[in-house]
Structure 1
Amino acid sequence: MSTSSTVDRAFGAALYATTDDALDTGASLLASDPAADAELAGRGEEFVATAWRRGWQPADLVRIVRRELDDVHVRLVAVLIHAQAPHDRPRGPRWHAQLGDLGGLGGLGERTDRFSHATAVLELYRLLLRLPALEPLDEPDGDTGSSGRERNPESRTLGRIRALLAKAEATGFPEEAEALTAKAQELMARHSVDEALLAVRAPSATAPGACRIGVEPPYEQTKAVLLDAIATANHCRAVWNEALGFSTVVGFASDLEAVELLHTSLLVQAGTAMAKAEAAQRAGGRKRTKTFRQSFLAAYVHRVGARLAAAAEGQVTDDLLPVLASRDVAVTERLDRLFPETTTTRLRGVSDAAGWEEGARAADDAQVEARGRLSGRRP
């Protein structure tokens, strides 16, 4: 029996059925024929390539596998992505950054018997086979970003910002966290001003880009609203895909970077503040529930969103208004092409007054200013 025949029979038994018996039959066929391993891996690379053609990217694939399956499947898909990469077409810098972020996900993990391994492979392939098509976010090959310079996904400035925010999020001392965050915001504002000035002096034909940011449970609706507020304040637009657990953010390269950094930092700040608020409530003899946490985060997002909107107003001098207006139009046009139909939603489950009050108080303490005043003149 040829290896292709073994794989075809296993796929016929397992991939197009959903029962455990069918899965066991397919896994038994593969486990009994070690010569079929290379063919099985090659078919997996084809599934990955098909996912790319359907609009998925490496980070998306890892996220959906982690969401739907287990760690062993995450390792398997990481191996397939790395194996397929040399045969792929040229990609932009965000794609390559995602490949780099896979890091050690493709490690061996625990050794398993052939039947267990084959079962995990078939479970993964079942998922890959059923992936829906996504909106294509392809970057032009060798994308240079909005400034016309070679875009480095981890420039020296962004590396310093990430390091400062990581220290701010890790420290247990509020004063130190505030000082570190303020320094990160100063660097981010300087980076943003540089990009805006370059757009004024040497406008490029680069179109807005887009990225997908995971919106993970619990309280994913509230987290999606937070991301939308951050995106809007930073000249971007966000659309949430609830079923697949991510938001697509559309904007120019430097603005997308600001959104990603600020979103991550504010999520950490919100989580830390909520844990402290819960501890204080428990110390006072009051039991805290899911409704408290939901209300806390809803208030936090509402207040932070208002602060972001207020900070965005009046931040731009008159000499930069035309270029920013044209960039906003370009972002909206790209969004409308990607998502011709969208709907709005309202937050649910906000019913705990104490949670709302604590969340609003934490939002007032949060560091939200991701940008300095944009001006055509440097101080």
Structure 2
Amino acid sequence: MSAREIVERVRAGELDYETALDLLTGAPAAETDAALTAVLGAEFGRLFTNGWQPVELHRAIARRGNPIQGRLVADAAAAFLAGKDPVDDAWRAQATQLTSEDRRKLDRIAVLDASLDLLSELRRMPPIEILIPPPGVPATTVHHHADKRLLDRVRALLAKAEATDFPAEAEAYSAKAQELITRYRIEEVTAPVAGVVPFARRIGVDHPYENEKASLLDAVAKANACRTVWSPELGFSTIFGFDADIDAVELLHTSLLVQANRAMTRDEPAKGKARVKAFRRSFLVAYAIRIGERLREVAEREFAGRGDLLPVLRSRDVEVRAAMEKVFPRTVRSRASRVDSLEGWDSGRAAADEAQLR
């Protein structure tokens, strides 16, 4: 068999990559490299054309633990971008971000091994919803993100909340950040911009404890007029809402997760792997529930006495739900996480109270 035939059989699932590696090791290097470049390029093109963004695909592949494969994704994004017009600014920024990675020379056999293994993985990856138009496809929607100055102020406050070792101080910074976010949302509701509709964004959820971390994202989203759909097999949640609300949710979720990890590490048991695992899972379950309660209380207080806004808020909620159901017409409720550690539950509730947003 030629090198191209071997690679195509791996792509079709007819040949495992380890057998293919043995066959290709003795083949002419130029022929093998050309075959891999062509077939991998076709698979990357399929995925980039069908919804996968550079950072998303890089993250999904990098989770497998092989840095060479992450670098192959980065190179593929840059190659897919070349010569195409128009290019969405967000897509270009992601591709540029990835190309700044380590560029050290790699062992050829290691690259060959990683490439064949990657090809086996890519062929199983499904198309997903196109949220950012791929290079060469013009944009058909207009986004309306939160004001950059507001986001910078919120980032600065949350950075201070993450940096301090004093819970009361972290609470004050986080509370001020939520206050700014909520006030901006009220301004947006009272003076809506014509033509603005809900959109979706995918947010990666890292292991371990992905389900519990996705629950925290869902709690933050619901308190800020957004909805999420968790895709555990792909390692991300899709969040639906208006751009400014999604911006706020993403910032809050990232900061609260940092604060949760710090408190969890501080309070966890010193010994026993099983005990620590049960503690962390229970901690995150309780933390997400309590944070959700606190955030809803903040929203209710900020909107108190503004009954005139209720029709607009209901209308926006209907639009967000419709956007979600268009992409995910059939969803199922995920199974609730088990709470096996009362110690972890109590600690998670306490940590959420420390991070409460008034």
Question: TM class, shorter-chain normalised?
Answer: 0.7 to 0.9
Stretch of structure 1 that moved more, 131-140 or 331-340: 131-140
Distance in 2, Cα, partners of 1:137 & 1:87:
22
- How many corresponding residue pairs? 350
Instruction: Tell me the equivalent position of 1:155.
Output: 148
2:246 matched to which residue of 1? 256
Shift of 1:92: 4.2
**CA, structure 1 residues 173+42, in 2 after alignment: closer, same or farther (shift >3 Å)?**
farther
Query: Is residue 2:333 matched to residue 1:335?
Result: no
Q: Label 1:307 to 1:185 Cα distance change in 2 as closer, same or farther (>3 A).
A: closer
- Deviation of 1:125 (Å): 2.3
Where does 1:256-335 land on structure 2 (aligned, <5 Å)?
256-278=246-268, 281-282=269-270, 288-313=275-300, 315-316=302-303, 317-335=306-324
**In 2, distance between residues paired with 1:179 and 1:49?**
47
Provide the secondary structure at the position in 2 that maps to 1:164: helix
User: Does residue 72 in structure 1 map to residue 65 in structure 2?
Assistant: no
TM-score, with length taken from structure 1: 0.82
**Aligned-partner residue type, residue 139 of structure 2:** D
**CA deviation vs aligned residue, 1:34-75 (integer Å, no higher than 9, x gap):** 366466435433322210232222222012101234111111
Are 1:108 and 2:97 an aligned pair? Answer: no
Opposite residue 134 of structure 1, the aligned amino acid is: I
Instruction: Give the Cα–Cα distance (whole angstroms) in 2 for the partners of residues 91 and 248 of structure 1.
Output: 23
Q: Is the 8 A contact 2:158 2:173 kept in 1?
A: yes
The reply to whether residue 351 of structure 1 matches residue 346 of structure 2 is: no
Equivalent residues of 1:238, 1:250 under 8 A apart: yes
> How many angstroms apart in 2 are the aligned matches of 1:342 and 1:249?
14
Tell me by how many angstroms 1:226 deviates: 1.3
Shift of 1:333: 0.8
Q: Percent identity?
A: 42
What's the offset of the Cα at 1:286? 12
1:170-208 C-alpha deviation (Å, 9 max, x unpaired): 333445434443443344344434433431xxx422321
CA 1:84–1:18 in structure 2 vs 1: closer, same or farther (change >3 Å)?
Answer: same
Aligned to 2:200: 210
Aligned match of 2:37: 41
Counterpart Cα distance in 1 of 2:273 and 2:30: 60
C-alpha separation in 1, matches of 2:311 and 2:90: 28
Q: Residue 311 and residue 187 in structure 1: after superposition, are their counterparts in 2 closer, same or farther (change >3 A)?
A: closer
Report if aligned partners of 2:7, 2:20 keep a CA contact under 8 Å in 1. Answer: no
Q: What is aligned with 2:24?
A: 26
Amino acid at match of 2:335: R
Q: Which of structure 1's runs of 4+ aligned residues deviate more than 6 A?
A: none
The Cα offsets for residues 113-162 of structure 1, whole Å up to 9 and x where unpaired, read as 3222222222222222221122332467274424xxxx58x923323422
Aligned-partner residue type, residue 342 of structure 2: A
Distance between the aligned counterparts of 2:3 and 2:163, measured in 1? 49
The answer (yes or no) to whether the contact 1:48–1:80 under 8 Å persists in 2 is yes
Give, as a single letter, the amino acid of the residue that structure 2 aligns with 1:158. Answer: L
Number of the residue aligned with 1:372: none
- Residue 233 of structure 1 aligns with an amino acid whose one-letter code is A
Q: Give 1:373's aligned residue.
A: none
The SS at the match of 1:346 is coil
1:9 aligns with 2:2: no
| 8 Å contact kept, 1:296–1:360 | yes
Residues 318, 97 of structure 1: alpha-carbon distance in 2 compared, 3 angstrom cutoff = farther
Q: Do structure 1's residue 237 and structure 2's residue 222 form an aligned pair?
A: no
Structure 1 pair 182/312, CA: closer, same or farther in 2 (3 Å)?
Answer: closer
- Name which of 103, 123, 126 aligns with 1:132: 126
Distance 1:189 1:7, change over 3 A: farther
- Alignment-derived partner of residue 171 in structure 1: 164
Give the distance between the partners of 2:188 and 2:97, measured in 1 at CA. 25
2:183, 2:302 within 8 Å by CA — same for their partners in 1?
no
Deviation (angstroms), 1:304: 1.4
Offset at residue 327 of structure 1 (A): 1.4
Q: Which amino acid aligns with 1:359?
A: G
What are the ranges of 5 or more consecutive residues in structure 2 without an aligned counterpart? none
- Name 1:375's counterpart in structure 2: none
Q: Which consecutive residues of structure 1, in runs of 5 or more, have no partner in the other structure?
A: 370-379
Computed over aligned residues only, the root mean square deviation of the Cα atoms, in angstroms, reads: 2.9
Report the AA paired with residue 185 of structure 1: Q
Contact 2:7 2:35 survives alignment (8 Å): no
Q: Secondary structure at the match of 2:234?
A: coil
Amino acid of the residue matched to residue 103 of structure 2? L
